[in-house]
Every structure is written in structure tokens, then in C-alpha cells.
Amino acid sequence: QRRRVTTQFFLQSSSSLPTRLDGRLFSTAASSDEKTTTTTSSPTDDDEDDDEMLMKIKVERKKKKNFEMRKDKRRLLLARQKRKRLMVGMAKAVDRGQYAVTYNPGGVNGTMFEAKSGLPSSSSFLVLGIESSCDDTGAAIVRSSDGCILGEALASQTEIHEEFGGVVPGLARDAHEDKIDQVIQQALERAGLSSIDEVDAIGVTVGPGLEICLRVGCNTARELAIKYNKPFVGVHHLEAHILMARLPYQNTEKNKDEDDDDEEDTSTTTTTTVQQPPLATEESTTTNEAEEHHPHFLLFPQDIPLQFPFLALLVSGGHCQLMKCLGIGQYKILGGTIDDSLGEAYDKTARLLGLKVGGGGGPAVEKLALDGDPNAIKLSVPMERRREDLDFSYAGLKTQVRMAAEKMKLEKKEGEQEELSYQDRANIAASFQNVAIKHLEQRLNRAMERLEKEETASIRSLAVVGGVAANKELRSRLEAICKEREWKMFVPPPRLCTDQGAMSAWAAIERLMVGSSDEPEGAEVYARYPFANHDDDDDGDDSDSSG
């Protein structure tokens, strides 16, 4: 009887317990006569737990998604920085090995004079060089045997762009189209030539640069090459700057006089600086007269003062790079700018100080800095604590200069003129230039130290090229480093550091001497043009790198 009562009590109690079935709640009531099942839904702790779990899952998914997005952004940022450092652009693929090869450096049969792409078998030939990569329209006739610049002409666009504070691409293109025929004709006349038919080959800059400006020069050169059946050479603008340090020269009395009239610091020493190359002046307007001062001689590689391999420092308005130069068309980047170039920093500083930048911010800042104190303003050297690489950075220095100028304005006493005085601006210019060059000095010393430790390199020559290489303070301080380390420094005269036609002509000569030329019909221009591998790239797989 006791068992019967206990069992009945259990059944009655259990009938009111909730039962879970398929995620829904049921409560069962049982009677002694019949059992009926009713379904009712009610919120429970399990529902709250489920909602909380779903919320946690959503939060975790959102966190993961945000993390992946940040990761992708970081990956894209790093890739963008690397492309900027290596100057990657959309351009035609080139054959590459361990070192970048922009064209076959071997030549035909491995010889020099059997590899001139159909040129005369004589020891000398003439090349017309055309330059239109930015805001200068240049043309020059250069002789291969001695690097003599027989005739040249340059049309500057300074007055056109001065009021805009920078180069306006559309206006630059129109000016190129308006002047290019006149510039070429003037170069021919100064060389004592009557027609393009008397030229043996044509070289033209095809990149990097402003594409619409490059196209003007390239189209003109292509039409002339096809019309007169001349070898055509597409020249890389950066390589042309580098090869200008290899331009041969002769110490004649005529050129000595020209050097003295050109620039005071054309050559600081006869052993470490490239002197003014031979130039046929207006008084010497015929080729025969020019030959009297610069007779032909058979130019072999050993006749060129600067021999491969060598270290090159390229400093210009758009580039700042250290490169190991191993041969014609073979270059390897040791370091490059991760943001702004030195030339761009000079331009921005010039605008900040209210200087006219029509002729370039570099010369304006350099001139103003002569009257300033280089230690007047304390500026930190960019990337001074980063010792593992050879890269450059000038964006931070520009910011420091701007903040220093603003601070000086705020510190003006009441009643004083709010604008910076001439001496204030001179001190800023001098302080900026001092730190900017010191950054170059640190990177250059590090590169030299690295190359000195390489047993196979045997590099002890430095070429300083590009528009900023015309800066006297920079040349003097870098030369001091070379003297201390017992290196030789080669730097073109100031007028040949900037863009002009002679650089395109000489680069074309160097290429023709190793048997390299291009088809004019398929000639293209590139705003960004692959040039060299970065030193971090060990293999030839570098479709993502350029310089």
C-alpha cells in the first residue's frame, strides 16, 4: 500500500514538470482517468542563454571581420609603400635576372663596334637626343667618339608655370608641341648640320615622366626615325641621368675657358669631379670646326673616366635613390625614398618661405640659405635611428619646417610684423638644407660601408646625378665624405645635372654601343617605368618592382 501511494505521488508530481521537445516547451498533466497533452510557450532561462550565445557569435564574427579588414588594409598599405619606394607602375614587362636588365647588355658577338645596330663602321657617329619628360624641351647632337656636344638647345617653361606654383601638365604639353620643332632645328644648326639625314641615330626619353609630355617628344622622334630610316632608341630618364656621369671630356683651352664662364663650381677637383664636357659653341657652328678642338678618337670602355661597377646617388625632383650600377642596363636599388624626394622637399620649403619656384625650389632655397644660420633651428634628422636599411624620408622634415615657421610667427611680439623676416626665412632655409643633406650623408656613409665589406664588389666610385646634384653645398659635403673614405666622386657640371637633350643622346650612344635599339613603330611612353630591382629581391621574380 505504501508503494502504491508513493508511485501515485510521483506520477502526479512529474506531470507538471516541463519537457523539451524539438526546441519547444511542453507541460504534461495526467489524471487517473486520462492523460492530455497541451502545448504552451513561455520564456525561460534557456531562451535568454540562446539569445546571449547568438549575440556573442555575432560580436565575434564582427570582430573577426574587422580584424581581417584591418589586416587587408595593412597589407595594401605595405604593398603601396613598397611600390612607391620601388616606383612601380603599369609598364611593359622586361627580362630580369638577379639584377634588373632593361635590355641586352652583351651586344652583338660581345664586341663594342660590331654592335651599333646598323650604324656606320667608322669610329664615330652622331646621335640626336630629345627630352620632353616634364617642363623642359631639349635637343642636342652628341658625337659618340668623344662625347662632344656639337649643338644643343633648350626651351624652358619657367614663366608659364611660375604663377601656378608648379607644373601644369596640359600647359606643359602645349608648350612642348609649340617649341619642339624649333628646338631640334636650333640644335642641328648649332652642330653645323642642315638636316636630320646627317644624324646617324635618334634617342628620346620615353619614361618616367608626365605621359602627355613624353608623348610629344616620342612621337616626334618616331616620325623622324621612320622618315629618315634612322635607328631609334627609347631612353630611360633615370638611366640617362646616371650615364651623364660617364660622359667623356677633354681638357682643351677652349673648354677650360667655357668652364670658367659656366659655373664657379663646375669642378671642385680635377680627380673626383667630371669636368665640363666638350661643347661646340655658336662660334664653332660647323662639325669640321668643332673637330679641330675635339678630334675623333676611338672610344673604348676604358677611355670613359667612370667605370662600372659604381655607386650612384640619384637626387632629383621626383626621385631619391642609391643604386649599385653594374653595367649598361644593369642596376640594383640599395635604397629609395619611402615618401617624398629631396627635390620635392626643397620645392615645398621654397613655397612655404614665399620664394619663387619657377626655376625650381632648390636653387631658391640654396641661395636664401647662404644668408642663414644652419644651426638656428633644431630639426631632427629623418630616420636617424633606423640603421637596418638605406631608405630615405623627407615628409617628416617638411612637417618640421612648417611647424618651425608657424612657431616663429606665434612668438612674434605684439606690434611686430606677423610675417617672417628675411633673416627668419634665411635661418629656416639654412637649417632645412643642413639636415636634408645630413640625412643623405648618413645613408651614403652606410651604403659605402656596406659595399666596402663586399669582397666581390670592389666599388670605390660614386656618381652623384640628378637636378639636386647641382647644389653646391651638397656637392661639397659629399665630396668630403669621398675624400675621407678614399673614394672618387663623379658629378656632371650643374647645367648637365638638370633635364636636357644631351642626356638622352649620350644614353642612346651607350645603348647603341652594346647593340641595343628599339623599333620606332611600336615605341610607347610610360609615366612610371620599371628600372631596377630592390636590394631585398634575391630572385628575378620582381614583376612588382621598379625604380
Q: Kindly report which listed range (25-39, 280-294, 493-507) carries the lowest average pLDDT score.
A: 280-294
Which residues have C-beta within 8 Å of that of residue 341, sequence separation ≥ 6? 315, 316, 317, 318, 319, 320, 392, 394
Weakest mean pLDDT among 15-29, 31-45, 209-223, 252-266: 252-266
The type of residue at 464 is: V
Residue 222 pLDDT: 97
Per-residue HEC secondary structure of 391-412 comes to CECCHHHHHHHHHHHHHHHHCC
The 10s digit of each residue's pLDDT in 434-465 is 999 999 999 999 999 999 998 666 899 999 99
Listed by start position, the domains of the chain span 103-305+495-529, 309-491
Interatomic CA distance for residues 137 and 140, integer angstroms: 11
What pLDDT does 2 receive?
54
Percent of the chain residues past pLDDT 70, beyond the cut: 68
Query: Model confidence over 308-332: pLDDT tens digits?
Result: 999 999 999 888 999 999 999 999 9
Judged by average pLDDT, the poorest of 256-260, 303-307, 449-453 is 256-260
What is the residue type of 183? V
Question: How would you classify the pairing of strands 310-315 and 320-327?
Answer: antiparallel
Segment 196-226, tens digit of pLDDT? 999 999 999 999 999 999 999 999 999 999 9
Residue 270 pLDDT > 80, yes or no? no
The percent of residues above 90 in pLDDT, for the chain, comes to 53
Give the model's pLDDT for residue 534: 52
pLDDT (average), residues 332-353: 93
pLDDT at 249: 61
CATH number of this structure's domain 103-305+495-529: 3.30.420.40
| Helix (H) / strand (E) containing 65 | helix 45-86
Three-state secondary structure call for residue 494: helix
Give yes or no on whether 103-305+495-529 and 309-491 have one common fold.
yes
Of the chain, the end-to-end C-alpha distance in Å amounts to 101
Comparing CA positions, the residue from 348, 372, 374 lying closest to residue 362 is 348
Is CATH 3.90.120.10 correct for 309-491? no
Contact 266, 494 (CB under 8 A): yes
